[in-house]
Amino acid sequence: MTNASNTLRILRAASAAAAATVILAACGGGGGEAGAPGSEGAYASTSGMASGSTASDGPAGQDAASYSLTFNDDFDGFNASVWNDKIWYEAAPGTKNYEVEDGKLKIWPERDASGNFFNRTIDTDGKYYQTYGYFEVEAKLPVGKGTWPAFWLFNHIDNRRPEIDVMEAYAGGGPDSGWSDGNLHPTAYGATIWLDQSVNGGFKMVQTPDLSAGFHKYGLKWEANKQTFYFDGKEVFSADVSMGDPMYLMLDLWYGSASGQPDGTTPTGKGNSYEVNYVRAWQFK
């Protein structure tokens, strides 16, 4: 495992460690720029089914007139000009465990040729970045020991690692962990701000219905001096923080942290996918 890999995994796992002592139930403008170096700019496709919402509706629970769409993928196909299928410090896994099907990106638990579970990351590193704005994904989560799906914003800038975890879920922890039920279905997720590696800017565990039973919207309103997180259009957490680096988009299915390690009970295959109906980003007008 590389030093970069160690650092990033430790950083992300720290949000789950913080949650062990902070279990909170859900409650409930600024300027922006898109198209930082490496950006492909705005593009759009159509499809979707889970909610029937369209990009023109704007972010869930927000005034659409206040935003301009900068990024939209409704997954009619896998757009390799926008998405990578690996994280920057590792080679792409040799076993395929993702597909675009029925207007959704699906990433599922799978074993490689050696019988080991492996991480899959889908990101826009080097291809699309944005600073400030509103970011939203509509997704349904997998179940089982070890599963750790996430939607986050990130950048690796020299030695700095700014990161905003819009959603991280840990189904494998079981009911005593606060993250899941007795059937290892996710019933909570974490929203976390990292100003830099190991420099926490805020955290909230959001308790929810079973996130594997249907699609939900996970959103972030990122302003120059404030970040506000939303679940299905309702505010669940905010923090007064300043972060001004451009970041790229990340979707992944990893394993470990508060979810434990996958084992023979972890359901594999497409039927237990992290399903993403769309990913969207807007600038403030």
Q: What is the pLDDT of residues 157-200, one digit of tens each?
A: 999 999 999 999 999 999 999 999 999 999 999 999 999 999 99
Return the CATH number of 3-284, one of 3.40.50.300, 2.60.120.200, 2.60.40.1080, 2.10.210.10. 2.60.120.200
Q: How far is it, in rounded angstroms, from Cα 107 to Cα 253?
A: 7
Q: Comparing C-alpha atoms, which of 151, 167, 173, 169 is closest to residue 258?
A: 173
| Cβ atoms 267, 109 nearer than 8 A | yes
Q: How far is it, in rounded angstroms, from Cα 129 to Cα 223?
A: 15
| Predicted pLDDT at 129 | 98
51 pLDDT tier (thresholds 50, 70, 90): confident
Where is 250: in which H helix or E strand? strand 248-255
215-231 pLDDT tens trace: 999 999 999 999 999 99
52 pLDDT tier (thresholds 50, 70, 90): confident
Residue 261 pLDDT > 60, yes or no?
yes
The residues spanned by each domain of the chain are 3-284
Residues contacting 190, CB < 8 A, separation 6+: 15, 16, 19, 165, 167, 168, 169, 170, 203, 204, 205, 206
12 pLDDT tier (thresholds 50, 70, 90): low
Name the 3-class secondary structure at 177.
Answer: helix
13-49 pLDDT tens trace: 554 444 433 322 222 233 334 443 333 333 233 333 4
